Structure 1
Amino acid sequence: MHITQRHCRIPVKKPTAKSLILDLLLASKGRPISAKQAITACGIFDISVNNTRVALVRLSAEGLIEAAGRALYQLTEDAHTLADHVASWRSRSLAIRPWTGGYIMVQADKLPRNEAKQQRTRDRALLMRGFRPLNEQLYIRPDNIETCVADVRESLYRLGLEKTAPVFFASEFDSELESRIKGLWNITEIERNYAHFQKKMSSWIQRHHELEPEVAARESFLLGGAAIKHVLYDPLLPEQWTDTRARAEFLNVVQELDQTGQDIWLKYWESLDLKTASVEALE
């Protein structure tokens, strides 16, 4: 079974040049960034100019970024599907609706070894929508997100699930299976992470004024990136299963950190006279 639960913890590892450039572009809300901005941002993380330029070339060759003018880069159309989902993190909680006890199921047959890339894409799509494996072919989550199953189906397909994979509603499992289904999510760990991240972010927000601009930019990027990934992979379980108040408080602090990071990076770019494209630190 390939799919696993992920729980982000802080501190997080230093980004690569490629991942940092993509994060900057994801944060830019469709605006391009300059090569100079990419080099400056990578320099904050001790990534060399040469490595940054190589990363720009490789991202272009992989079809993830394209030229948007002289020494300007933007995401390609192919990269926008995942980018749009990442950019939707602020409104994720709006997708939650009351749970009436049913489930959304996905039948995803085992892929051959030569389909490893598609397997990774499928796993990511299912994780980002909160699914867990019930058995080798069936994945499940509570039916409490989006307006209907059809919307969840379409979002899974957009994220890379094969369009031949059935996505459907199911209900009325026996009590033993219901108990096993609930155990597919480590709810205690999820709630512990809410408290952990909230405390870490609140403490940093209170003291960030004491940091040098470059240090504040770096730390806001790392801390915010880890928190937002946690939001994106949060299964958004129903209130019958989890502490939704703790989740709401966590999301509020992520929003506050996001705005703080945007302000820090905007001031940092302006201090270096890099105004070609305003890039926020977090998305």
Structure 2
Amino acid sequence: MRKPTAKSLILDLLLANQGKPISAKQAIAACGIFDISVNNTRVALVRLSAEGLVESAGRAMYQLTEDAHTLADDVATWRTRSKRIRAWDGSFIVVQADKLSRNEAKQQRARARALLMLGFQPLNEHLFIRPNNIEDSLAAVRKRLYKLGLEKDAPVFGAQQFDADTAKRITKLWNPRELEQTYSAQTKKIRTWLDRYQDLETEEAARESFLLGGAAIKHVVYDPFLPAEWLDTSAREEFLATVDELDRVGMGIWTTLWDSQSI
């Protein structure tokens, strides 16, 4: 697991804090666990403020800005994401997106991130597709895509009854067996850590829970949540339950850390 930068660590702490601000002391203490200096932490706070990602929430207190909340709020829904899956009726959701120019690289990144976060895969250069089994309606999926960065004029619509060749190509856009293997491997990795974390010093446990939890949550955020007809959902549910347990344990460890340092 790669060591985080001061900027990424601070943003992750704010995200994990569920909308509540953190103090400069908390940021410094957290960065110190990862051998990031006080000076680098303070510089990161200044840069994040200059970039419009964090703002003052009182004396030496920081919170995410409104702009930063757009992506952060969606990522924060990872805890309830599995509850937003519904039975699949065999139809698909399709996004039509025109090719962007080199001058629109920022928009291209925003579009790619939005599509990936909702599990879309490219059917061809202009069409992106996924099974119609997430959120409570197509309108809700469309709203999330636009909010996350898809161009507002990009059509988002339902489709079904593809010809045999296209239908076969569609099913090959995802790899259910690889997803199942990832669920099992991640579950085993987290379970192994949960069985031994109580033997660790608080700072070491905080560091490891942060890195392990961050990697696991990323898997949840970018999981396509394929229909039950395509993969073993029990493996997915076990993985999600294990990540929930890791999240609860990790939050407890970090609370203990803050309390021990009177922050």
Quick one: distance in 1 between partners of 2:206 and 2:109?
31
CA distance in 1, matches of 2:17, 2:75: 12
Distance 1:15 1:121 in 2: 22
The letter of the residue matching 1:124 is R
How far apart are the structure 2 equivalents of 1:47 and 1:117? Answer: 29
Per the TM alignment, residue 174 of structure 1 is displaced from its structure 2 partner at its CA by: 1.7
Partner of 2:249: 260
> What's 1:278 paired with?
none
SS at match of 1:124: helix
CA RMSD of aligned residues (A): 0.7
Identity %: 68
State the shift of 1:184 in Å.
0.6
Alpha-carbon displacement from aligned partner over 1:181-239 (angstroms, at most 9, x marks no partner): 11111222111100010000011001000111110000000000000010000000001
Q: CA deviation at 1:28?
A: 1.0
Residue 104 of structure 1, aligned match among 80, 93, 107: 93
Map 1:29-108 onto structure 2 (within 5 A). 29-108=18-97
Deviation at 1:117, TM superposition (A): 1.1
Question: Which of 129, 133, 141 is the equivalent residue of 2:122?
Answer: 133
**Aligned mates of 2:249, 2:220 — CA distance in 1:** 17
Distance 1:72 1:157 in 2: 31
Gaps of 5+ in 1: 1-11, 275-283
Q: Please report how far the alpha carbon of residue 175 of structure 1 lies from its aligned counterpart in structure 2 after TM superposition.
A: 2.1
SS at match of 1:78: helix
Answer yes or no: is 1:190 the counterpart of 2:151. no
Q: Deviations over 1:118-176 (max 9, x none)?
A: 11111110000000000011000000001111100000011111101110000001222
Structure-1 separation of matches of 2:236 and 2:128: 24
Asked whether 1:161 is paired with 2:169, we answer no
* Residue 224 (structure 1) aligns with: 213
Q: Matched residues in 2 for 1:235 and 1:64: separation?
A: 27
1-structure distance, mates of 2:44, 2:153: 35
Runs (4 or more) in structure 1 with deviation over 2 Å come to none
Q: How does 1:136-147 map to 2 (within 5 A)?
A: 136-147=125-136
Between the aligned partners of 1:70 and 1:164, the Cα distance in structure 2 is: 42
**Aligned pairs (5 A) from 1:193-272:** 193-272=182-261
Deviation at 1:30, TM superposition (A): 1.4
| Aligned partner of residue 215 in structure 1, secondary structure | helix
Gaps of 5+ in 2: none
Query: What number of residue pairs does the alignment pair up?
Result: 263
Q: Kindly indicate whether structure 1 or structure 2 has the higher relative contact order, using CA contacts under 8 Å at least 6 residues apart.
A: 1
Which of 171, 181, 197 is the matching residue for 2:160? 171
SS in 1 for 2:196: helix
CA distance in 2, matches of 1:110, 1:42: 41
Q: What is the rounded CA distance, in whole Å, between the counterparts of 2:228 and 2:18 in structure 1?
A: 32
SS of structure 2 residue aligned to 1:74 = strand
Task: Give the structure with the larger helix fraction.
Answer: 2
Amino acid at match of 2:127: L
Matched residue type, 2:259: E
